[in-house]
Chains A and B, each alone.
Chain A
Amino acid sequence: MSEPTHEVKLTVNGVPHSVSVPARRLLSDCLRHDVGLTGTHVGCEHGVCGACTVLLDGEPVRSCLLFAVTVDGQSVTTMEGCRSAEGGLGPVQRAFMECHGLQCGFCTPGFVTTITAFLRDNSDPTEEEAREAIGGNLCRCTGYQNIVASVLRAAEILREGAVE
């Protein structure tokens, strides 16, 4: 017996997509398998690790705790959408590279999306605010210090960009 499917329209990183998925398709799997963007990583699938974090209409959410069908018609920004407009590394990605904010990189997409939204709302965070902002994302490699530094560096890069 084949499972019934639903037509779901999503705007992913500004590009409209239409997919046909069963109701139980998680947004994380929809992005990876149906839309074909594997930048969104899947760790725990119960909301704890934060690797799957994407922006839904601009706000960070766990894509592993959403059904694609629920967000039909909405806009999603993934790691791929955090690149610079010219296609190179985006400001947060650049900061991660400069500050060694990643090692294996498994957790990085969730950090990059979370930090992108955070810096949009708070362009000049204190170190404590930076720590709080990434409190819901787990990293098994870096020990976090370099990620905190990356948040502060990304804020700097963004402010420099705003001045130019």
Chain B
Amino acid sequence: MKPPAFVYHRPGSVAEAVETLAELGADGKVLAGGQSLVPVLNMRLAAPAALVDINRLGAELAFVETTADRVRVGALARHAQTERDEAAFAALPLLRQATRHVAHQTIRNRGTTVGSIVHADPAAELPAVLMLCDGTMELASAGGTRSVLVADFFLGPLESSLSYGELALAATFSLPPPRTGSAWVEVSRRAGDYALCGLGLTVSLDEDGRISRARAAYISVGPTPVLVDLTDAVAGQAHDAADWSAAGALAAGKVDPDEDIHATADYRRHLVGVLTSRAGRAASAHAAKAADR
């Protein structure tokens, strides 16, 4: 179908964008990559009165910045830019590991990392990565800029704490401690589809190669990504001989998935268990490699 009519704004700077959004209030909606918004418009599931197109703000917002303690991704960095960024990959491999599972390359050429976080789809990968990395969102409005911790950002399916009149400027992912490995694992019906269940998992090792911390963030099994601390199940165990099935059982007890046309709730819970083991083994091997470096 065709999208409904809207008034189009194309600001040339962040300052102008924020001013326009302030004027529009509840009538305005940001257009970033459009890879979630335009399907919604084409299906006529939403009809915003005005769109504020931020695609001309590349000079200010198309960055992926890596420093000693974080990776900061600007609102106009496409998934493809985030995925390819070598400095970000070296510092935080999980970002590339997860982004590769976002749709297909063609969609990633246009969709943005920040847009996918703001969109807050419980089946999306990046919100879970932000959770696992204790991230923050930078939101700008006419009143100034505020930082929102990831724990306060996701309110429900497709609902974040971004208010009318606000523009998300960047997402910041904190870097894990040394000797940390990560993995992203998911099951979807076809490659590139939204996952039936998926997770990012990080494992940190102590100096003797024993697990000191393990955490995972799950998608498609709750209204927002579900963060589970798995440390209790595997702490002190050797990185290559840990009881990941115990971690899987622990996680399966913490999620409350819904049933839909793609999968039953039981099947999704089963996947949480199985995929936790898979991701745990992969992330510990990755951590052992990181420890060797």
Contact = CB atoms under 8 A, between A and B. Distances in A.
Interface of A: 3-4, 6, 22-24, 26, 29, 45-47, 50, 53, 56, 59-62, 64-67, 69-70, 114, 132-133, 135-136
A135 B2 contact: no
Contact of A135 (B8, B109, B110, B192): B192
Given A66-B34, A70-B31, A70-B55, A61 B2 contact: no
B103 interface: yes
Interface in B26-83: 31, 34-35, 38-39, 41-43, 51, 53, 55, 80
Given A23-B7, A24-B4, A26-B2, A61 B105 contact: no
Contacts of A60: 105-106, 109
A64 B10 CA distance: 20
Contacts of A136: 103-107, 192
B267 interface: no
Given A6-B8, A45-B1, A61 B106 contact: yes
B42 A45 contact: yes
Nearest 9 A/B pairs, CB to CB: A136-B104, A23-B8, A46-B39, A65-B38, A60-B106, A24-B3, A59-B109, A45-B42, A136-B106
Nearest to B108: A136
Contacts of A3: 5
Where chain A touches its partner, the secondary structure class is: mixed
Contacts of A65: 34-35, 38-39, 42, 110
Given A24-B2, A24-B4, A66 B106 contact: no
12 contacts: A23-B7, A26-B38, A47-B107, A60-B109, A64-B42, A65-B110, A67-B8, A67-B31, A69-B8, A135-B192, A136-B103, A136-B105
A79 B3 CA distance: 24
B31 to A, nearest CB: 7
Contacts of A66: 34, 38, 110
A50 B5 contact: no
Nearest to A29: B2
Contacts of A132: 191
B36 to A, nearest CB: 9
Contacts of B43: 46
Contacts of A4: 7
A134 B53 CA distance: 30
A3 B53 CA distance: 19
Contacts of B34: 65-67, 70
Contacts of A23: 5-8, 51
